[in-house]
Structure 1
Amino acid sequence: MLTLKLLIFNSILATLSLATPCLALPLSPGDRVKVNIPEGEEFNGIFEVNLNGDLEIPYISPLPVLGLEPEEVQNNLTTVLIDGAFFQPSFLRVNISVVQWAPIVVFVSGATFLPGRVFINELSPGEKTQPPVPVAGQYPPNRYLAAAIRDAGGVTPTADIKNVQLIRNRETRIINMSGVLTGEPFEDVALIAGDRIIVPDSGTMHNDLVRPSQITPTGVKVFLSNLTQPSTSNASSGVGRDATSFPYGARFSQAVVAANCAGGTRGTNAGRKAVLATTEQLTGKTTYIERNVNDILMHSTNDTNNPFLKANDSVVCYDSKVVQFRDIIQTILAPIPILRDLLK
């Protein structure tokens, strides 16, 4: 009976070990590691993983380390040194620690705003020029899956973040990243150079994805124009020469307010019109919608009437019919004083 319980317990432990993700970061080209072997000074030093994914340590053949965790590299180096008769097994002690994590290149495709080749964990100017400080245990927060998706522009509102694909060495792994938005734990996988990430497109709009997060844009820039009423210029309307930034998830109505297209005298301004123009980045096709300013603010009930703003959208405000009629009358009457003065 005791033997059966032990077998069951060991089976549970084995299952948990397979289900629990490994938190160690695998090595990639450019990573720098420190090798320390007591009484083995000829093998000690700081070494960089070369483009082939090997460590070039003196007196031994290049040691493959690409995709391996530091502990695995430590065990492999121990085996190589013992098999090469450099040390006796009872006396050999090998320690390998990472002293600098390099930037790496991964490839992101699918439902992101800027798919393509992504360079993550880029070093600061000081780190590029100064030798690495031999401090073990450094943590690179920008060499993980969420950082790569963020650097690819973030996911689009139609992304299926429950089935993100990570392809490494021709093996595909499905990762559920919905915890990024809900606060639940999720597996943020450590990446190595050459990893491929595919974010599937669900074909359905998900409004919960249109807000700032670790895998969505933090904001968008929109061009605003409001030339006459209720203000006489963009400067007095608080509209700058460059695009105005909005938090990701802002809507058409908020751009209308930011452009000072709303407010003022109801009789002249409530009937103003606002146009939202959107240009698709890939096709160059421009679409637009026109809405009454008062309706946008008071009667918008869905995404069609009051859509989310996209990067590089343009919002233009036009005066009401009352103001247009007034301007026409003023144009007609303007020459009268001049003619009267001439006749005098």
Structure 2
Amino acid sequence: MNSRTTLSMLLCTALLGGCATMPTPANLPGARFQREQQLENQPLATCSLPGAPGVIAHLVHVDANVFSGSPDLVGPGDRLKLAVAGDAETLTGSYVVAANGRLTIPFLGEIVAAGRPVSAVEREVRQRLIAGALVRDVAGGVKLAQVEAAGVQVSVEGAVFEPGLVRAGERAADSRATTVDHPAGGDFNSGRSLSAALRAAGGIRPDAAAQAVYLVRGDSYAVIDVTPAFTGGVPADPQLAAGDRIIVPSAGCFQADYVRPSSVTAPGVRVYLSNLSRPASSNSASAINRDSTSFPYGTRMLQGLVSANCVGGSAMNAGRKAVLISRNPVTGRSVVIARSVEGLVRSSDRDDLNPMLMPGDAIACYDSDAMTFVDAVGVVGSLLGPAVLVNGLKK
């Protein structure tokens, strides 16, 4: 091989080694939603309390305490125990409210139970028994008690991560068996609450108007302030009934104070990690598994990079770069940002460049410029080796 060919190979190596490992990601205007993302020179959206949703236009506004202080309402799947004086088997026993919300009792037919307090259902059962001459009009002769409160289906919409229908208060089979085998005078299902339904829907988003959450039930609604879940105090947390509707308006801006575990946010998030840089050749070699991709809500990008084994290592590969792939929860636009790993570790203004991780975010690591040069040398060497061998054989 002549000197001109060798020089050309070395020049190619230098050019490949000088190539940028990752061009600056391009993003559409309006994709930025966190101050720490530092994207285009556009101001962030300002917070504003949205107007009332249109669905409540013809409903009656009631105080939140009306829902919080009202008796629990019977729902489909609830188990009720009927005790009739002087009866052991015919009428006395346990009954489950059907999916249509009705209770079927021998000789009485179907009784509408869902959406009513147990006391109201008891009065109707007693009146029907007396009207049918099945029992005497004696005080305390008919008792109806709730022995199991099943989960209820409610709708959650607006500024939550997973809007839609959720089952609030659904219990495991072993828990239900224990409740049935050891009945008590009543049952309290903590999962049938407003806060539990919000968590079941992925928790409120950082842009939520937490001071004005709407709970719609029948022809009435209440506006509930859940900010005490973050600031302290006891927020209103009414028990839910089947068919309730929860609406969380959006304030249109990112509020970092709401990005942490609480009674109305998810305790953790799942993030996708990729570290295919040296010295690791695969995600499994980087010890990236289910445990390392689950973080407490409020974790920042730098902590995610540590979990992906992108921080530290040899001096040659310490200057890695990383990208965060996220989505603006308000506009729905995806956003990709690039960060220098060592810059996040060493810079004093790291807090201004270290975004918070949202559910479903993804982090990917790239090799440093030094390792890119090494790889370029390897590519050229793989081409240069056979040529040198052929040239030596000719000689």
TM-score range, shorter chain: 0.7 to 0.9
Matched AA of 1:22:
G
Match 1:168 to one of 213, 217, 240: 217
Alpha-carbon RMSD: 3.3
Task: Report the equivalent of 1:179.
Answer: 228
Task: Report the equivalent of 1:7.
Answer: none
Task: Report the equivalent of 2:116.
Answer: 68
Moved more, 249-258 or 123-132: 123-132
Moved more, 299-308 or 210-219: 299-308
Task: Report the equivalent of 2:239.
Answer: 190
Task: Report the equivalent of 1:33.
Answer: 80
| 1:34/1:45 contact within 8 Å kept | yes
| 2:205/2:329 contact within 8 Å kept | no
Larger relative contact order (Cα-Cα within 8 Å, sequence gap ≥ 6) = 2
Match 2:249 to one of 185, 193, 200: 200
How far does residue 333 in structure 1 lie from its aligned partner after superposition?
Answer: 4.6
| 1:230/1:263 contact within 8 Å kept | no
Task: Report the equivalent of 1:9.
Answer: none
Aligned ranges 1:96-245 → 2 under 5 Å: 96-125=144-173, 132-133=180-181, 135-136=183-184, 137-240=186-289, 244-245=293-294
Under a length normalisation based on structure 2, what TM-score does the superposition of the two structures give?
0.71
1:66-123 deviations in Å (ceiling 9; x for gaps): 2222233334433444455544434552221212222321111011111011123334
CA distance in 2, matches of 1:189, 1:282: 28
Kindly indicate whether residue 105 of structure 2 is the aligned counterpart of residue 57 of structure 1: yes
CA distance in 1, matches of 2:76, 2:274: 49
Aligned ranges 1:319-334 → 2 under 5 Å: 319-333=367-381
How far does residue 289 in structure 1 lie from its aligned partner after superposition?
Answer: 0.7
How far does residue 270 in structure 1 lie from its aligned partner after superposition?
Answer: 4.4
How far does residue 287 in structure 1 lie from its aligned partner after superposition?
Answer: 2.4
Unpaired runs of at least 5, structure 1: 1-17
1:161-183 deviations in Å (ceiling 9; x for gaps): 22111111121111222233344
Unpaired runs of at least 5, structure 2: 1-64
Do the aligned partners of residues 134 and 336 (structure 1) sit closer, same or farther apart at CA in structure 2, a change above 3 Å counting? closer
Matched AA of 2:249:
P
1:21-52 deviations in Å (ceiling 9; x for gaps): 43642101221211112124443221222344
| 2:344/2:350 contact within 8 Å kept | no
| 1:26/1:192 contact within 8 Å kept | yes
Identity percentage of aligned residues:
36
Q: Find the residue that maps to 1:297 and give its secondary structure.
A: helix
Kindly indicate whether residue 133 of structure 2 is the aligned counterpart of residue 95 of structure 1: no
Q: Find the residue that maps to 1:62 and give its secondary structure.
A: strand
Matched AA of 2:372:
Q
Moved more, 228-237 or 307-316: 228-237
Q: Find the residue that maps to 1:290 and give its secondary structure.
A: strand
| 2:68/2:239 contact within 8 Å kept | no
Matched AA of 2:73:
P
Do the aligned partners of residues 95 and 302 (structure 1) sit closer, same or farther apart at CA in structure 2, a change above 3 Å counting? farther
Q: Find the residue that maps to 2:69 and give its secondary structure.
A: coil
CA distance in 1, matches of 2:82, 2:360: 50
Match 2:342 to one of 269, 291, 294: 294
Q: Find the residue that maps to 2:229 and give its secondary structure.
A: helix
Q: Find the residue that maps to 1:224 and give its secondary structure.
A: strand
CA distance in 2, matches of 1:77, 1:31: 16
Matched AA of 1:234:
N
Do the aligned partners of residues 172 and 263 (structure 1) sit closer, same or farther apart at CA in structure 2, a change above 3 Å counting? same
How far does residue 207 in structure 1 lie from its aligned partner after superposition?
Answer: 1.2
Aligned ranges 1:257-296 → 2 under 5 Å: 257-266=306-315, 268-278=316-326, 286-296=334-344
Q: Find the residue that maps to 1:184 and give its secondary structure.
A: coil
Moved more, 274-283 or 125-134: 125-134
Q: Find the residue that maps to 1:324 and give its secondary structure.
A: helix
CA distance in 1, matches of 2:143, 2:170: 27
Q: Find the residue that maps to 1:220 and give its secondary structure.
A: strand
| 2:148/2:179 contact within 8 Å kept | no
Under a length normalisation based on structure 1, what TM-score does the superposition of the two structures give?
0.81
